[in-house]
Amino acid sequence: MLSRALRIATLATASLSFSLVAGCAADATLEPTSEASEPDALVGSTSSALSTFDWSPSVNVGPDSQAAWYGGAMATLNGVTYMVHSGDSSPENLWWTRLDGGQFAVDVQIPNQYASQKVSLAAFNGYLYLFHNGQSDTTAIWVSRFDPATQTWTQNFKLPFTSRFTPAIAAYGGRLRMVGTSPSTNQVWTATLDASETLSPQSYVPNVYSASRLSAAVFANQFHVAHRNGSTTNLAVTRFDGTSWSLPGIPAVGGGAFLQGYEAQIAAHDGYLHLVHTRPGSLSVYWTYLNGTSWAPEVTLGTRYSTTPPSLAQGGTGLVLSTTYNYQPSGQALSRRLQFSQYTSPRTSGPILVDPGPILVNP
């Protein structure tokens, strides 16, 4: 058996069912609470397999080793990947930075904007849109817009909706689509902003509930939402084709197991929908992907772990992963430092995209 450091963790594109239901820094002071299993040999050997070796080593975010108590969100605009993250010692503050080459720049505080959860970020209509909840009103939804020409943020404005968690956002069908959760029932709702920032009515997604934060990405011309399946520990994916929503699908990811966790992050790149998450009781970061028809067996991303749910975005060399680790020098307060890793696609041909499942037509 190879040692853990030498084991190859390669994801396969083997056919798996899609079941339908109604590198941390040396000075980190918090280790994973449980050791995640890792394959001892190749999981897949096809020419289209993706490998953990395609991820760069994790490094601290910025030359100033930025920290964020709630973690950060990322999005790419005009080829530049941006991150907005919370403060650390003052977690309600919001800061932004951008990826320049192989490193993020020194962060800059966004004036007069505050949040008590991790934010959401998306590119739309030539701008970056930032969604965040309120500092005191935790179910309020505030929106700000970043102009890349002036490198400034607009004053935020409040939406007439509420959400238990900051809504996930992604550009789809010429609009900025948002998905949030009812503070009282956890049912998922959706609405859109157009290019003039006119807001559509709110509507609820049938049979879709989540007791944790959502993530959104566009893949195969459909709007995908990764979410916790109700209050269970199963992670599910629900799709919108522009007209109707699918039932939640719980990915089967090898060995008869289903995707487990409380929060997942998804991003589309190079013909695949990538998903990262941590499992209940573990801080290890897991990775799987959808090739259009099936999910690959999930593997740990080497020794990477995260003390907050990881973030994922298309950008950089392909994908950018953001994680946090706890850092506490002797006699100082606990801090959550940010790290990032970049994924570079191997030179393989992309799969043919087909519809992965039935659609539930809205009544």
Residue 144 has pLDDT above 80, yes or no: yes
Global pTM value: 0.85
188: nearest Cα among 158, 208, 163, 162: 208
| End-to-end Cα, the chain, rounded Å | 55
Burial of 23 per CB tally in 10 Å (0-12, 13-18, 19+): middle
For position 252, what pLDDT does the model report?
A: 87
Tokens of 83: 């991150």
Asked whether residue 356 is assigned to any structural domain, the reply reads no
Mean pLDDT of all residues belonging to the chain: 86
- Tell me the residue type at 270: D
Tokens of 164: 């238990």
| Residues 309, 120, 315: CA angle, nearest 5 degrees | 80
Helix, strand, coil % (nearest 5) of the chain? 0, 50, 50
For position 32, what pLDDT does the model report?
A: 35
d(CA 98, CA 72): 12
Asked whether residue 282 is assigned to any structural domain, the reply reads yes
Asked whether residue 5 is assigned to any structural domain, the reply reads no
- Domain with residue 179: its CATH number is 2.120.10.10
DSSP 317: T
- Beta-carbon count within 10 A of 34 CB: 12
- Beta-carbon count within 10 A of 357 CB: 14
- Beta-carbon count within 10 A of 150 CB: 7
Residue 125 has pLDDT above 70, yes or no: yes
Residue 197 has pLDDT above 90, yes or no: yes
d(CA 167, CA 266): 14
Residue 346 has pLDDT above 90, yes or no: no
Range of the domain at 324: 10-341
Looking at the structure of the chain, the number of domains it has is 1
